[in-house]
Amino acid sequence: MGFFHFLKTQLTTALQVDLSAISNYLESKVRIFSSILQFCKLCFLEPLKRSSVVTHESFDKKQEKAVSVYEKPKHKKTSRDDNEWRCIDNCFWIIGFLCITWWLLLFLCNFLPAILPGFKLAELPGSRLKNEGLNAHHPVVLVPGIVTGGLELWEGKPCSEGLFRKRLWGGSFSEIFKRPLCWLEHLSLDNETGLDPPGIRVRAVTGLVAADYFAPGYFVWANLIENLAKIGYEQKNMYMASYDWRLSFQNTEIRDQSLSRLKRKIELLYVTNGYKKVVAVPHSMGVNYFLHFLKWVEAPTPVGGGGGPGWCAKHIKAIMNIGPAFLGVPKAVANILSAEGKDVAFIRAMAPGLFNLETFGFQTFQHVMRVFRTWDSVISLLPKGGETVWGDLNRSPEEENVCHSAKTQYLHYSSKENNGNNTDPRRSIQVKELAKYGRLVSFGKVASEIPSSQLSFIDPKKILNESMPTSSTSCEDFLTEYNGLSRESIKRVTENKAYTARTLIDLLRFVAPKTMQRAEVHFSHGLADNLEDPKYSHYKYWSNPLETILPDAPDMEIFCSYGVGIPTERSYVYKISPSDRCKSIPIQIDISADGSDNGCLSGGVYFVDGDESVPVVSAGFMCAKGWRGKTRFNPSGITTYIREYQHKPAASLLEGRGTESGAHVDILGNFALIEDVLRVAAGASGTELGGDRVYSGIMEMSEQIDIQL
């Protein structure tokens, strides 16, 4: 669907054709594409259901069979005529045509300027600023987030033969298709320790190539690196702090000494570049990782880095947090509960049998969930601050958020270039009922809307402590922790119709006990009452900005830079899965839950303003209020700035993913953001950038969050 929406925008702008005509045409193509999925299901999946024998083999046996198939292909005779054109051939032909069309468009985007010498793209910010006299000054450290950094194999099982030091994550992802079960096994961590499984070593790729491109043609840091190079940056004054993003933050130090290497590199950059302080640029979960580093580096050894008080003040000029997930993201909840989000839920609705087919042992969601739940980093992204930040059964900071029209667009506050003194503009649309975003997970659409007095409520801790019946299935393998729970246990959990950020943790402890028990040693998601309590010296609190104190570095600056204007997942409507087969996931997003008084519910997901991944409240609250001025979280008064970037889709095909995008990853190619980073790296302060730039209602939302400062 994203492709057709993208194509509609490009054709409308480039060819100046009628918007409604293009819209109607491409929306019909969306319906055709959905029909293709159903067609493939009828051609391929349905006949397989007639098979009367379904075998359940162990993971190892399946893996051996998968490897043998690819290593020793066998050609069997068939009675079918070679010229016979089957239904499934039509299906794959159409899909192939769509893929070829997409790659052709990418080719034109990249090579049309070379074919037409007279055609010019917009000038890169780095080139323009270089002409203005801007030059490299402060060393720059880039810190990637979750999943965007490459991972390569150093030791593996027999099925991984030939993959030594080849990328398992990032790059072409070809091994997914060649040996999928082997690939998943090697990306998993040990479910008890959160470290390497026996006989497997997967490590982070090093250097700038670790996260410049996620896949061929899909940039992550590449555009920012190129523009930094335009004003004089190279590897002697620029560093990519890659790490194994699957691990808990402290485990990256225990296993790989990643934090120690980052400390030594910053010290080296500081000395070799004329004792100039470093500008750190973390992205997404990398923001939380670097926040953990700030506490680790000054903490005494052996738990900390031993840098002592004043290390950050000496070595760091500014931290430019891009797409920060300071207070977590609700989509992490959906990943743990059912290994899905809005996009996956849509695909599953179109072809429900594709991901659950047992004949070939696909069980896609189950395998993905099993892998996800071994990654402690996913737990780091759970919502932090409880009901105080995310709201309770009746209220939330975004409760006045209004969506309108079928396209789920947002009303935005006017742009304000100031130091945080914003007025409160009036909303232009009145709604009957405000969305109850504080109900992060509701079982049924009705439960997400009715007054809290009408909800049935059972203390999740009581359910957790009850002696619940276990599963009586005869599954040979337990792909997920759900296999240990009976259907009655799941129904008992859903009797509590709505879960908030406070009660949600207990729900996760019930459905994913091993995962939570392991990960909660490394992460905390609460709100500190007394930061002087000695318990907060433990490393599990260091990545939670509401349970840790910023370093004593009054001259340092902190930026919260993120996109706004894109519907972003905030809460979910769930239902019990109709399937009770062995190994199935018993709950799923209710794709049929649609429509609400304020227009923010679509396909079982409630949306608010954000960058498509991180809601505004998570990205901006700490800079808007939590760290603004001298607070108990920021006793030295480090100056904070909010820099928001209003999302604008690409104006033409030649802009690729756009130069004004506010999307979570695409923002790294946003020219305005790149210019801000370059100017700060060249020595500018936040005030010289223009102070705060606010488009959203983050200031008003922050006032709704009652936290003692």
- What average pLDDT does this structure show over 456-463? 70
* 639 bridge partner residues: 557
Helix axes 19-40, 2-15, angle to 10 degrees: 150
How many Å apart are CA 113 and CA 119, to the nearest integer?
Answer: 6
pLDDT of residue 107: 66
Q: Render pLDDT for 357-408 as a digit per residue (tens, 0 to 9).
A: 443 345 677 888 889 899 999 999 999 999 999 999 999 998 776 664 334 4
Which DSSP state fits 486? Answer: -
pLDDT of residue 305: 97
Query: What's the token pair of residue 510?
Result: 């019930």
The pLDDT tens digits for 494-505 are 888 899 999 999
List of residues 6+ apart from 394 with CB closer than 8 A = 436, 438, 451, 452
Residue with the bigger pLDDT between 511 and 312: it is 312
Q: Which of 418, 430, 438 is nearest to 695 (CA)?
A: 418
Tell me how far apart the alpha carbons of residues 279 and 239 are, in angstroms, rounded to a whole number.
Answer: 11
Residue-level pLDDT at 32: 47
Q: pLDDT tens for residues 428-452?
A: 334 456 789 999 999 999 999 999 9
Average pLDDT for residues 64-84, to the nearest whole number? 44
- The pLDDT tens digits for 86-108 are 555 666 677 777 777 767 766 66
119 alpha carbon, distance to own chain's centre: 36
* Whole-angstrom distance, CA of residue 96 vs CA of residue 88: 12
* Residue 175 confidence (pLDDT): 79
pTM (two decimals): 0.82
Backbone angles phi, psi at 138, to 5 degrees: -85, 140
Least confident of 55-69, 129-143, 465-479: 55-69
**Mean pLDDT, the chain, integer:** 81
Nearest to 235 by CA among 209, 263, 258: 209
Percent of the chain with pLDDT over 90: 57
Region of residue 661 (phi > 0: left; psi between -120 and 50: alpha; otherwise: beta): beta
- pLDDT for 119 equals 54
Res. 586 pLDDT band, cuts 50 70 90: confident
pLDDT surpasses 60 at 57: no
Please tell me the predicted confidence (pLDDT) of residue 435. Answer: 84
What pLDDT, on a 0 to 100 scale, did the predictor assign at position 528?
Answer: 96
Q: What is the pLDDT of residues 253-302, one digit of tens each?
A: 999 999 999 999 999 999 999 999 999 999 999 999 999 999 999 999 99
Per-residue pLDDT, 416: 43
Secondary structure E strands in 243-356: 278-282, 316-322
Phi, psi of 562 (to 5 degrees): -160, 160
| pLDDT at residue number 423 | 40
Instruction: Give dist(CA 308, CA 299) in Å, integer.
Output: 6
Whole-number Å distance between alpha carbons of 193 and 196: 8
Mode of pairing for the β-strands spanning 605-610 and 639-646: unpaired
Residues belonging to the active site: 284, 611, 664
- Residue 218 phi, psi dihedral angles, 5° rounding: -110, 95
